[in-house]
Amino acid sequence: MNIQAVSRHTGGSVPEVGQPHTRNETACHDLSIRVRDLSLWYGDSQALKGLDIDLFQKNITALIGPSGCGKSTFLRCLNRMNDLIPGVRIEGLVEMDGRDVNQVKMDEVALRRRVGMVFQKPNPFPKSIYENIAYAPRMHDLVSRKPEQDELVEKALRDAGLWEEVKDKLHQPGTSLSGGQQQRLCIARAIAVQPDVILMDEPTSALDPISTATIEDLMDRLKKQFTIITVTHNMQQAARVADYTAFFHLGEIIEYNDTNTMFANPATRKAEDYITGRYG
């Protein structure tokens, strides 16, 4: 495996900025997002301290670490959701498809079309199930006619494994579904605009174990089409679903490796302590 596990501790070998890469549909380890020396401040307190990480296409990368370690903050850097928080300052490079996403001329709307997001608490729009899915593609002019739109809604719901459960009540409010179904609806909403990357911020932390298992299965299927980056507090979940795992601690990436290596043979003491449950 040609994994490029880069961390502040192990890596001085930072590849050149703007390194070309192919968008090969079948390859497993093409670069999706390249992060170099990314720092973030909330006012005066620094939340991210010079992160370097390569995120790979069509894989699941799990971000783990104790609370307040910056993993969610990092996740939100990838689709610039931090822009919404006043007083945030970002430095460093987040590169996707050869473009620096933090540049002023990069439209955050365009970025968020390619980098979708699923939140910790299911947050369907208070509209019908159908509208929840159809709204964004219609807004982005991905569909023009009604039949096209119907087709897209069905496809997104099928991909999210929700179609069979909701096909007879597409016009009921999305909020009438159970928590797990709502979260899958949110996933369907995210994939309906055909993004490259889906960010998931503790997608199952508000769900029961059965719904969690369903979502994990779903993530496993979705990684054939999408790059998934997920934050999780659940070690077992990271071990089960993720191809790569990054361990965050106090705003730094301590260790980044493929999940099996990380869990079987952590290179750092901190990661080992965290994984084995000594703190967290």
Partner 1 sequence: MSQTFDEISAQLRRRHRRSARLKWVSMGALGLAGLFLLWFFSDMLGKGLPAFQQAQIQVEIDYNEDAARMGRAALDRDLSRLVSRTFERMIPVQMRENPELLGSKETRWVLADSEVDQYLKGHRHKLNDAQRALVDELEAEGRVELRFNTTFFTTGDSKMPEASGILSAAVGTIMTMLVTLAIAFPIGVMTAVYLEEFAPDNRFTQAIEININNLAAIPSILFGLLGLAIFINFFGVPRSSPLVGGMTLALMTLPVIIIATRTALRSVPDAIRHAAFGVGCSRWQVVRDHVLPLAMPGIMTGSIIGLAQAMGETAPLIIVGMVAFIPDVSASLTEAATVLPAQVFTWAGEPEKAFVEKTAGGILVLLAILIFLNATAVILRKKFERRW
Binding site for partner 1 (CB under 8 A): 79, 81, 84, 86, 109-110, 112-113, 116-119, 121, 123-126, 135-136, 139-140, 175, 186, 189-190, 193
User: Given the complex with partner 1, which of 206 and 250 has the nearer CB atom?
Assistant: 206
Nearest approach, Cβ of 226 to partner 1 (angstroms)? 15
- Our CA angle for 212, 224, 209, nearest 5°, is 5
Task: Give CA separation, 211 vs 120, 167, 168, in Å.
Answer: 14, 19, 21
User: Given the complex with partner 1, which of 91 and 107 has the nearer CB atom?
Assistant: 107
Strand, coil or helix: 21: coil
- The three-state DSSP-derived secondary structure of 90-151 is EEEEEEECCEECCCCCCCHHHHHHHEEEECCCCCCCCCEHHHHHHHHHHHCCCCCCHHHHHH
Nearest approach, Cβ of 266 to partner 1 (angstroms)? 33
User: Given the complex with partner 1, which of 64 and 198 has the nearer CB atom?
Assistant: 198
CB 224 within 8 A of CB 214: no
Nearest approach, Cβ of 185 to partner 1 (angstroms)? 11
CB 248 within 8 A of CB 70: yes
Nearest approach, Cβ of 244 to partner 1 (angstroms)? 23
Nearest approach, Cβ of 189 to partner 1 (angstroms)? 6
CB 226 within 8 A of CB 199: no
CB 259 within 8 A of CB 244: yes
CB 80 within 8 A of CB 112: yes
Two structure tokens written together for 210: 């059965």
- Whole-angstrom distance, CA of residue 55 vs CA of residue 246: 10
- Whole-angstrom distance, CA of residue 272 vs CA of residue 280: 11
User: Given the complex with partner 1, which of 142 and 235 has the nearer CB atom?
Assistant: 142
Nearest approach, Cβ of 195 to partner 1 (angstroms)? 9
User: Given the complex with partner 1, which of 27 and 110 has the nearer CB atom?
Assistant: 110
User: Given the complex with partner 1, which of 183 and 245 has the nearer CB atom?
Assistant: 183
User: Given the complex with partner 1, which of 188 and 253 has the nearer CB atom?
Assistant: 188
Nearest approach, Cβ of 159 to partner 1 (angstroms)? 16
